[in-house]
Amino acid sequence: MAVGIFDSGLGGLTVLDAVQQRLPDVEFVYLADSANAPYGVRTADNIYDLTVAATQRLFDAGCDLVILACNTASAAALRRMQESWVPQDKRVLGVFVPLIEAMTERQWGDNSPPREVALKHVALFATPATVASRAFQRELAFRAIGVDVEAQACGGVVDAIEDGDFILAEALVRSHVDALKRKMPEPEAAILGCTHYPLMQEAFQTALGKDVSVFSQANLVADSLADYLERHPNMAGTGETAYLTTGDPARVSSRATQFLRRQIDFAAA
């Protein structure tokens, strides 16, 4: 059995690591579209086409359920895919849902009117494409009122992480946090709206200050997936664990091993 996990690059490894720890008996097929990363600077139509192609590759690998462990793909492509493309016997889920549930303290299926929540001032750090989509604000508005969300497009951070240049990534994080604070001086919470960003969570927390609650998605997604598979055990698929990339397998394997601190061997997708 295997569940597909897709990201434009290596950021989704933060989700993969969490779900593997949470669900040690489930096999996963991870696909990194490294040849086309990053997605955050692409158009919505381009992101949609690339995400559909990658998801189909995971379906072909025996996955009936695919997690888009990429906020940009979730923001720019998921709704359109679910409405017009995903086959009836397959499922594609994004990473926004568990985060929205955690922030609003209500289940996704709760269709009651929006209500006030504890948080009032929230900073969103994400790729330019995710920020432009306003997907997070749209989904939050369905469930909560009175929340001021200030978004900061974090150009360059994903590229630096993919290149393994964490000194540059940390400098960029500080710069983007400074820019956010000029617009929202005292955020109560911050959302790391890209699955690459948990690799820089300490830098975000330091720049924001210890009193700001930082929401990272990996563990939330892992808990949500465990609940979903308990309710839909037939969606675990028929594939076997594999790591696939559209980029250079040797280079991607080296970066992945560095990120997760355990040997990860990618093959060509």
157 and 249 in a common domain: no
| Binding site members | 7-8, 39-40, 71-72, 195-196
199 and 119 in a common domain: yes
Task: Note the pLDDT of residue 109.
Answer: 65
Q: Is position 63 annotated as part of the catalytic site? A: no
Task: Note the pLDDT of residue 1.
Answer: 62
| Binding site members for substrate | 7-8, 39-40, 71-72, 195-196
Task: Note the pLDDT of residue 111.
Answer: 72
Residue 134 backbone class (left: φ over 0; alpha: ψ -120 to 50; beta: rest) = left
172 and 105 in a common domain: yes
The range of the structural domain enclosing residue 136 comes to 97-215
Task: Note the pLDDT of residue 96.
Answer: 84
The CA–CA distances, whole Å, from 185 to 120, 123, 177, 212 equal 13, 10, 10, 11
The total domain count for the chain is: 2
Using DSSP's 3-state secondary structure scheme, residue 194 falls into coil
227 and 168 in a common domain: no
Catalytic residue (choose from 16, 70, 73, 229): 70
> DSSP assignment, residue 89?
T
138 and 36 in a common domain: no
Task: Note the pLDDT of residue 108.
Answer: 58
Query: What letters, b where the CB count within 10 A reaches 16 and e where it falls short, cover 150-187?
Result: bbbbbebbbbbbbeeeeeebbebbebbbeebbeebeeb
Distance CA 255, CA 263 (A): 10
The CA–CA distances, whole Å, from 114 to 79, 120, 141, 147 equal 21, 14, 7, 11
Distance CA 16, CA 98 (A): 15
Catalytic residue (choose from 135, 149, 158, 194): 194
Neighbours of 263 (CB within 10 A): 8
104 and 182 in a common domain: yes
225 and 207 in a common domain: no
Over its length of 269 residues, how does the chain's per-residue pLDDT go in tens digits?
689 999 999 999 999 999 999 999 999 999 999 999 999 989 999 999 999 999 999 999 999 999 999 999 999 999 999 999 999 999 999 998 888 888 887 775 677 788 888 889 999 999 999 999 998 898 888 888 999 999 999 999 999 998 889 999 999 999 999 999 999 999 999 999 999 999 999 999 999 999 999 988 888 899 999 989 999 988 887 778 899 999 999 999 999 998 888 999 999 99
149 and 233 in a common domain: no
Helices 201-208 and 166-183 cross at an angle (nearest 10°) of 40
